[in-house]
Chain A
Amino acid sequence: MTELELAGQVVELVRRLGGPGAQAEAVVTRADLALTRFANSGIHQNVSESTVGVRLRVNVDGRTATGGGSVVTADGLVALVERTLTAARLCPPDPGWPGLTPPTPTPDAPPVDEATAHAEPDQRADRVGAFVAAAGGLSTAGYCRTAHRSSAFANSAGHSAYGRSVEAAMDGIARRDGADGVARRSADRLSDLDGAELGAQAAAKAQAAADPVELPPGHYEVVFEPAAVADLLQNLSWYGFNGKRYAERQSFAEPGAAQFDRAVTLVDDPLGGSGLPFDAEGTGRRALTLVEAGTTRAVAHDRRTAAEAGTESTGHAVAGGATWGPMARNLRLSGAAAGPASATGRSTTGAAAGAVVDVDTAALVAGVRRGLLVTDLWYTRVLDPKSLVVTGLTRNGVWLIEDGTVVRAVRDLRFTESYPRALGPGAVLGLGARAVRQPERVDGAWWAAPSLRLASWHFTGGASG
């Protein structure tokens, strides 16, 4: 039975067992997910799963409940529907119920790469092998993963949708004397991931990260590489552009206000890569401009938050969204309109590319009189959601820049900083031209960003004390 047939069957069961007044929406997803993990330069964990899941949301007499399960036999579906209806009937009323998505066309999704959808463990292992070999004897660790989802939506208002998505990602470090270098990519095709290129990049950064020195805390000008910028995008999305937090006045976002530097344009672009063409409520997904040339334009909505705000869903409903709110999970920070002024960077720390591995970053570094080059941010946690003050650490390489040149590796630093303030008017001193797609911890989400130069970042202490 297809996913669409299964979803339709669940909705029909709700009609039959819940009566004509019962509203229902069902999502059925089959997934083939695999992840090959390596450490100490050998594959040590290699996993795959072939799963099916059903998620059902019902509203009966103004009361809402959600059910889910992995049992898609006839009896299993009946049990799922019965227990979800029972739960709804016993629940207190749900005054915020926004109703179901009406029948609407589903946007065209990009084509999926069948080779990635059906990738074998050998193919992932070979990319890992290439990464390890390219690291030139340094100890390596990381993963290569592939994901294929086939998903259908149906509701009792007569709306249905179907789509497939695939994704491949690779993330690895190379280590030299405790100093790590990283390379990370998300792609629509496994064939777009070059283990050797990533391994060489990680190794070059690890070589350049050796013998770090301690720097005093303080405000530093910074150049963030795309991996570090991805953390900014994730936190801005989850806490700032989340329609629920906005409605609760817990978000900094003020649509119409020039809250960011004019260099900042943020677009959530779920179909910019292979992605499902609809959200958890069946609403079609499309690009949404959140910030345009520094001015906040929108926040993400699902049907519940949209109804509360008197607007339309933007297609950002996620499972569990009543609690967590709608999420933009495919955010792109646009690069500089023109290419960088300089295509070469200078490094005194190592051979080959050294700390700087691409021309965009090199151009930004070249303009810094004194500052830090930061590869990656780690364990970032929000101290206050409204001001979006975040603490965290650098990871996988930090270097001191003097007079446009990377002069030495630096020990990891802790920071405490307000993300919107750091990106505020006048704070962005440069952007790379190319946005590089970074994987999220789960497939289906990604963050695309170029390197970014900021006027100030508040480092509050060294990792040594």
Chain B
Amino acid sequence: MTEFDAATAAVQAALDAGARYADARVMHRRYESMTARNGDVEELTQDESIGLGVRALVGASWGFHAVPDLSDAAARDAGRRATRTAMASARVPGPPVDLVPVQAVTASWASGCQVDPLGVPLSDKGDLLVDATRTMTKHGADLAEGLYQIWDTAKWFVSSEGHRIDQRIRECGGGISATSIGDGETQRRSWPSYRGQYGTTGWELVESLDLAAHAAQIAEESRALLTAPQCPAGETDLILGGEQLALQIHESVGHAIELDRILGWEAAFAGTSWLDLAQLGSLRYGSELMNITIDPTIPGALGSFGFDDEGSPAVKRDAVRDGRWVGVLAGRDSAAMASLDYGGSVRADGWARLPMVRMTNVGLEPGPHTLDEIIAATDDGVLMDLNRSWSIDDKRLNFQFGCEVGWEIKKGRRGRMLRNPTYTGIGPLFWRSMDMLSNETISWGTPNCGKGQPGQIGHTGHPAAPARFRNVRVGVSA
């Protein structure tokens, strides 16, 4: 029995039990991660999981059931149980459910991969982390940590509308960090990012990060931060590095444009959105420099795929154009409810989880400047980079971010290093204050986006470049 056979059996059983629509997804995922600390491998984990999840629609009600068994009997039972669960949902019915049309396709898709990350010898991968952490320890770090993660996922999707799609997506990445512990506080510097950089790519991504070459510098900077002056409190011009701006996009734009949040489906947990669908196409989200795209077609970015987990093909769309809000992240049912004509942004983090609206690659198109030009044009401000903490309200308006490091900007020059830099603001006001944008774009990967109940971890990508924002409140502390 092939994976497609199991998925087909589950879908057919759901239809036989009374579903008007059903789809099923078999996923086989191999996962490997290694962490190292202070020159030793701390943990090596390898997981392999395979199973089937089937979704059934009865009237206006959904049901979902998942099993780790691909036998015909288990698949059919899963289809029947999903349908029975959908029928139970009808005891507390919601509004009618429609699905925006998608052309049924038979297709295969695979992400690009030059060096199979699971094929690289473990000893080589271990040496990479051990050497880097040993170097950081030698250069003053109290805690020197390194990490890589690899996901190799195969999916087989079948729907009652005739889809038959298989995909293979290989993702990997990693990074290092150095922590120095002082009297009552800690300071940390990371490379290239908090938790590292990730993409839908092979081990060549990790090699390109050149972890060992940056180990000494971040260790020394983490120690220097212990005695650096505190980031002053007040309003000033703020320049954000690309990695921090990627998270700013993720939290204050990506989640806000998720249609399930806008419709209230996440109200009790992840929250809603400040956006009102009645203003789609007219609302000013930010300055005219702000052009945000939803683009799962970017080669190698962490939010890329061929088809989403409803069988919708990857398509690039605008979310914000010239500062105006024009698009959302949607699924087939949420789009139909909002009278939109597209889905394409629905994914699940495993076979046992229900597909839901998730970010793909939500990124900021580049501007005309370089970071050096932005600094040179700034008379008085702070440059902050690499995220340390993040928090935003349930409507995605009020945020406060902490960064690992800040630098004074005085008369167009980068000055002293500043510790504990934080900044806070309100999403649309902040984005409207963006007045300079760099052309040095990197597609940052976020492998830890939490959403949904039961909880799911999403993988998203965020093209971003450094940018300047005027009159931002910085230096919030306890």
The answer to whether A and B interact is yes
A173 adjacent to B268 (CB under 8 Å):
yes
State the CA gap A380–B389 with chains docked (Å): 9
Q: Which of A68, A180, A379 contacts B391 (CB 8 A)?
A: A379
Q: Which residues of A contact B143 (CB under 8 A)?
A: 248, 250
Interface 9-mer from A32-40, A295-303, A353-361, A397-405 = A32-40
B45 adjacent to A320 (CB under 8 Å):
yes
B292: CB under 8 A from chain A?
no
Contact residues of A between 384 and 418, Cβ < 8 Å to B? 384-387, 389, 391-393, 395, 412, 414, 416-418
B48: CB under 8 A from chain A?
yes
Number of A-B contacts (CB under 8 A): 277
Total interface residues on A, CB under 8 Å, equals 97
State the CA gap A65–B32 with chains docked (Å): 11
For A62-105 the 0/1 string (1 means CB < 8 A from B) is 00111111110000000110011001101111111000000000
A70 adjacent to B51 (CB under 8 Å):
yes
Q: Which of A90, A126, A139, A391 contacts B122 (CB 8 A)?
A: A90
Q: Which residues of B contact A460 (CB under 8 A)?
A: 400, 424, 476
A47 adjacent to B65 (CB under 8 Å):
yes
B389 adjacent to A382 (CB under 8 Å):
yes
A378 adjacent to B394 (CB under 8 Å):
yes
B390: CB under 8 A from chain A?
yes
State the CA gap A159–B420 with chains docked (Å): 48
Q: Which residues of A contact B390 (CB under 8 A)?
A: 381
Tell me what chain A mostly uses at the interface: helix, strand, loop, or mixed.
strand
Interface 9-mer from B164-172, B181-189, B310-318, B369-377 = B181-189
What residue of chain B has the Cβ atom nearest to residue A122's Cβ? B88
CB distance from B426 to the nearest CB of A (A): 5
A70 adjacent to B68 (CB under 8 Å):
yes
B16: CB under 8 A from chain A?
no
Interface 9-mer from A18-26, A48-56, A338-346 = A48-56
B392: CB under 8 A from chain A?
yes
A310: CB under 8 A from chain B?
no
Q: Which of A44, A52, A53, A65 contacts B62 (CB 8 A)?
A: A44
B89 adjacent to A142 (CB under 8 Å):
no
CB distance from B127 to the nearest CB of A (A): 8
A91 adjacent to B126 (CB under 8 Å):
yes
B41 adjacent to A393 (CB under 8 Å):
no
User: Which of B's residues lie within 8 Å of A, judged by CB?
Assistant: 35, 40-51, 53, 61-68, 81, 84-86, 88-95, 121-123, 126-127, 130, 142-143, 179, 181, 184-186, 263-269, 352-354, 356, 388-394, 397-398, 400, 402, 420, 422, 424-426, 429, 453-455, 473, 476-478
User: Which of A's residues lie within 8 Å of B, judged by CB?
Assistant: 33, 35-53, 64-71, 79-80, 83-84, 87-88, 90-96, 120-122, 124-126, 128-129, 132, 139, 141-143, 145, 171-173, 175, 180, 182, 248-250, 320, 322-323, 378-387, 389, 391-393, 395, 412, 414, 416-418, 421, 441-442, 458, 460-465
Pairs across A and B, CB under 8 Å, 21 listed: A36-B88, A39-B267, A40-B264, A43-B61, A43-B91, A44-B265, A45-B62, A46-B89, A65-B44, A65-B46, A91-B41, A121-B85, A129-B91, A249-B181, A322-B35, A323-B35, A414-B393, A417-B478, A460-B476, A461-B398, A465-B426
In the complex, besides A46-B61, A66-B44, A323-B42, 11 extra interface pairs with C-beta distance below 8 angstroms are A41-B94, A42-B95, A43-B90, A43-B93, A65-B45, A67-B47, A80-B48, A142-B268, A145-B453, A175-B267, A460-B476
